[in-house]
A and B are shown apart, each in its own frame.
Chain A
Amino acid sequence: MELIFEISKPGRSATDISKSDVPVINIDDAIGKKYLRNELDLPEVAEIDLIRHYTNLSRRNFGVDLGFYPLGSCTMKYNPKVNENVAALPGFTGLHPYVDADFAQGNLQLIYEMQKYLCGIFGMAEFTLQPAAGAHGELTGVMMIKKYFEKKGLKRRVILIPDAAHGTNPASSALCGFEVMELRSNSEGGVDIEHLKSLMTEDVAALMLTNPNTLGLFERNIEQVAQIIHDQGGLLYGDGANANAFMGKTRPGDLGFDVIQLNLHKTFSTPHGGGGPGSGPVGVSKALMDFLPVPRIVKTGDNYSWSEKFPDTIGRVRSFYGNFNVIVKAYTYIRSLGAEGLKRATEMAVLNANYVKERLKPYYDLPYDRGCMHECVFSGKRQVAENGVHTTDIAKRLIDYGYHPPTIYFPLIVPEAMMVEPTETESKETLDTFCEAMIAIAREAKENPDGVKNAPQTTPVTRLDEVLAARKPDVCWKKP
């Protein structure tokens, strides 16, 4: 497809600018020529061309509204339309962040209540909604951990991270000056308790744990893990990427977590927009409340306002108050589902994942064969060994069957990993047809491996040359 620049023609425009109702002045004089630009190289297209261009682009994109999207660890549940409508109300979209609090009582109440709801769901003492995404929340959490020890006059250098963790965990830790030590998983896919005991010293600030972990398995020894950490004065950090596995069934706060970050674009159904905006609230136990980012919301009587008067705060992590409009959608979701609905969502998510696991188990290796939570991880090892068909090939072939592939090659501890997260909004029929496609591909891998390796065939482009893209990077178009 042509680029917008390639359909540009001098003299066209999709907009007109209003005539000035105030005196027109000489810009060169007002600003000074040396501060002005001479050229402005932007596309020039008529409105109809613009709409067709982007509409055609949208037709080359796969979203959850088009089909099943079992992208593990990303919780691609359906994005309810009422949330979109409500978030578009002018009352929510129209306010400048610096209006006086009395203009924004509705927004402030919403943020305040959202924090309370999240405290209730996750069993934490307080939440901040300022971080713009999960990784941003993680960084905020680690900064608070750092400040917690500084405040105590302690210098702890190490953060423990399991080998199956998301890459953001070590990256966030290193950005706060911590040294990362890797914690081994045991044969059941859980924390290797003996290894944890051997690593846990008074130099360890925290263990960053995803529970259920990236294998979709709940940490059975969570009580013992928390105790080992806390006995040495350490903190337990929870990566809440997998909150869709336990919401309404158990609470991280009760399990002993001191900090947890969420992803509203996963668990709370806000659309991910093709890579963002997300929103990454962080919840903390009482011990860490003083370190939360500012500003924080304060309620006096029925009146809400922002306050920066928290002397021990880590400071600010984002301008203004975070991705407010995303929070509106998540708040709407919580109100629609209510306590019972949130719990049922988790139950159906776990039911769906276990169903897929059982149906596909005979056809693909399941390295950790036990009850999973909201997602399950298969390995394509058998297909590689028997037919030379890799997980990438299986994923690409799924595209031809009309599905978005699972997350692949993650977690790193499973070779040829395929991480399937169906979510609760998918019906049994959808899961059945997906499983049938996976089974058919397992058969194709035996009978026609080259066909699988050449997939996808039904897309606007076939497999793309990533080596070329990385060797000769072309990230901005230049006129030929």
Chain B
Amino acid sequence: MSKQNPQDRLYSRDHEWVIDNGDSTVIIGITDYAQEMLTDIVFVDLPEIGRKVVQKATVAVVESVKSVSDIYSPVGGEVIDVNKMLEDTPELINQDAYGEGWIVKMRMSDVGELKMLLSAADYEEMLKEEKK
């Protein structure tokens, strides 16, 4: 059973979460539902700092033993930090998808893009639909 999806952030239809720091920077990770679907994560291919990504482009790649999944950036902008802990302990995503398992920090190029994301409640509604 997936954990509760925190209220303090926004969600994308591709199962990423976004924390808006209010200073046009965001923290991005994947949802608990996503990590569960991926099973044991064995490797995270992180972007280099400074890389510019448009909304919905691949910002990182997450691998399990038998699958590879692109992480699509929920907002466009520049990568300003990556979670280096994931290099040696990718399982942090499995253990704590909403906390220690964050993936990148970005400076948004268009804060308006946040409006296209979902609230926790809307995301849960979407999951319900998907599971049907």
B42 within 8 A of A: yes
In the bound complex, residues from chain A placing their C-beta under 8 Å from that of B63 are 470
Shortest Cβ distance from B40 into A: residue: A467
CA distance A409 to B66 in the complex (A): 11
B40: which A residues are within 8 A, CB to CB? Answer: 467
B33 at the interface (CB under 8 A from A): no
Separation of A385 and B43 alpha carbons in the complex (Å): 30
Q: A467-B65, A471-B90, A471-B91 given; name 4 further pairs at CB < 8 Å.
A: A466-B65, A467-B42, A470-B42, A471-B42
**Which residue numbers of B lie inside 8 Å of A, CB to CB?**
40, 42-43, 63, 65-66, 90-91
How far, in whole Å, are A471 and B66 apart by their CA atoms in the complex?
A: 13
Q: How long is the Cα–Cα vector from A467 to B39 in the complex, in angstroms?
A: 10
| Chain A stretch 440-480: residues in CB contact (< 8 A) with chain B | 466-467, 470-471
Q: In the assembled complex, how far is the CB of residue A167 from the closest CB belonging to chain B, in whole angstroms?
A: 12
Q: What secondary structure prevails in chain A residues at the interface with B?
A: helix
Give 9 A-B contacts (CB < 8 Å), ordered by A residue: A409-B66, A466-B65, A467-B42, A467-B65, A470-B42, A470-B43, A471-B42, A471-B43, A471-B91
* Cα distance A467–B40 in the bound complex, in angstroms: 7
5 shortest interchain CB distances as A-B pairs: A470-B42, A467-B40, A471-B42, A466-B65, A470-B65
The CA-CA distance from A466 to B63 in the complex, in Å, is 13
Task: For the complex formed, measure the closest distance between the CB of A72 and the CB atoms of chain B, giving whole angstroms.
Answer: 18
Closest chain B CB from A25 CB (angstroms): 51
A179-213 interface bits toward B, Cβ cutoff 8 Å, 1 = contact, 0 = none: 00000000000000000000000000000000000
| Minimal Cβ-Cβ distance residue in B for A467 | B40
Residues of A within 8 A of B90 (CB): 471
Closest-by-CB residue of A relative to B89 is A471
List chain A residues, Cβ under 8 A from B91: 471
Q: How far is the CA of A121 from the CA of B40 in the complex (A)?
A: 47
- Complex: A470 Cα to B91 Cα, angstroms: 12
Question: Could you say which residues of chain A place their CB within 8 Å of the CB of B43?
Answer: 470-471
Q: What chain A residues lie within 8 Å of B65 (beta carbons)?
A: 466-467, 470
Q: Taking CB as reference atom, which chain B residue is nearest A466?
A: B65
Q: From residue 406 to 462 of chain A, which have CB atoms closer than 8 A to chain B?
A: 409
Which residues of B are found within 8 Å of A467, using beta-carbon distances? 40, 42, 65
Q: Which residue of B lies closest to A468 (CB)?
A: B42
> Which residues, 247 to 280 on A, are CB-close (under 8 Å) to B?
none
Residue on A with the closest CB to B65? Answer: A466
A233 to chain B, nearest CB (A): 34
Q: How far is the CB of A366 from chain B (nearest CB, A)?
A: 24
Bound CA span A99–B91, Å: 57
Q: Chain B residues near A471: list those with CB within 8 A.
A: 42-43, 90-91
Residue of B nearest to A470 (CB): B42
In angstroms, how far is the closest chain B Cβ from the Cβ of A460?
A: 22
Assembly CA distance A470 to B39 (angstroms): 13
Q: How far is the CB of B131 from chain A (nearest CB, A)?
A: 16
Q: Shortest CB–CB separation between residue A61 and chain B, in angstroms?
A: 23
Complex Cα distance A111/B91, Å? 53
Output the least CB separation between A390 and chain B (Å): 12
Residues on B with C-beta less than 8 A from A466 are 65
**Most interface-central of B40, B66, B90 (chain A CB within 10 A):** B40
In the complex, what's the smallest C-beta–C-beta distance from B84 to chain A, in angstroms?
Answer: 16
The complex places the Cα of A466 from the Cα of B42 at a distance, in Å, of: 9
C-alpha spacing A279/B90, complex, angstroms: 39
CA distance A471 to B90 in the complex (A): 8
